[in-house]
Structure 1
């Protein structure tokens, strides 16, 4: 992520006391509610709603983002809610950062902006961070030629939709090593109606859920 992109997002976060709703992403709730708590990596955590939701359910979370403004906001909420000891907040650039391999029972990433030239390597690093028996959850906006020009959501008010920033669940599945993963699911799902109403963006989610082979 370029310095100008980072500054643009910091400016966005400074523009309001809270940019996002404070609620966890719908697909995390759908997929994570029945998982046994363990260690989790929230990649691109923003203001931390997903990390906070996981911590409240017993997870120990590493929450990473390139915006220090967003991280400070998430850490403040963790303190208010008595969760500071369950979440580690890290300022990293996911285009460069290498998470520790095999270290997390859940790796979750929602709506990452990853350029095509770097995206394969980024998703491979995230996949490699999943422990045996752990889960990889990657969710994106299903931006296509038919939908890409018509919708922007709140965080993209400063950014025109660049097709090179978006991906499908199948793109993510393609980087997974054959034989290392079980129960790989790729599908499109309707977006949370509350998020549609709040942002005016009805674009569906493209969702990958995969479990690494082996036992936890």
Structure 2
């Protein structure tokens, strides 16, 4: 077991559920008007995005480093009758990447306090987008209002800095979105606040 995998296994073992189970807002907004095809969900966690995509007609590969998270996602897929539309794979994305091409590749908050080779992952993600397909990357742009002081001291990347880490390789791309966006959210103790995210949406032309 790598230190990175151990970190996430310990994180998921803290509670029966870590995430809300709901789809991330920006993924839903971007994916809703698209024609369903094959999708790749990077860092799928307990499957909120993966299962939403499957419910909306996509064939989805969800990858995560945590076996615990993937087991929970699989159980939820079975419960909702979506197992035939979902493939879940245990993967350390800093070391390997799923084969194939996809009509939608999603990296939602693929940020970590432990090692994560984002440049390698984003380059592989771009290569995995089929012509006409979409790459969506969403990052935290600032700390939540309820975060502890040390998180507020952390410098978050700007949209342009995140874009600079994405090696698009060969081919032509259309920039659909590259903005800081805001959403209402509720903190762990019921606090209300506004969160800022970097939203990057790119469409591969060729």
Unaligned runs of 5+ in 1: 154-158
| Match in the other structure for 1:111 | 109
Per the normalisation by structure 1, the TM-score is 0.81
Matches within 5 A, 1:1-216: 3-100=2-99, 103-113=101-111, 118-143=117-142, 147=143, 152=147, 163=154, 167-174=157-164, 175-177=167-169, 180-191=172-183, 193=184, 196-199=185-188, 202-214=194-206
CA contact (8 A) 2:158 2:198 kept: yes
Distance 2:22 2:94 in 1: 26
Unaligned runs of 5+ in 2: none
SS in 2 for 1:211: strand
Provide the aligned C-alpha RMSD in A: 2.7
TM-fit CA distance, 1:6: 2.2
C-alpha spacing 1:67/1:125, structure 2 compared with 1 (3 Å): same
SS in 2 for 1:204: strand
TM-fit CA distance, 1:162: 8.8
TM-fit CA distance, 1:44: 0.3
Number of residue pairs matched? 199
CA contact (8 A) 1:173 1:184 kept: no
C-alpha spacing 1:19/1:205, structure 2 compared with 1 (3 Å): same
Greater share of helix: 1
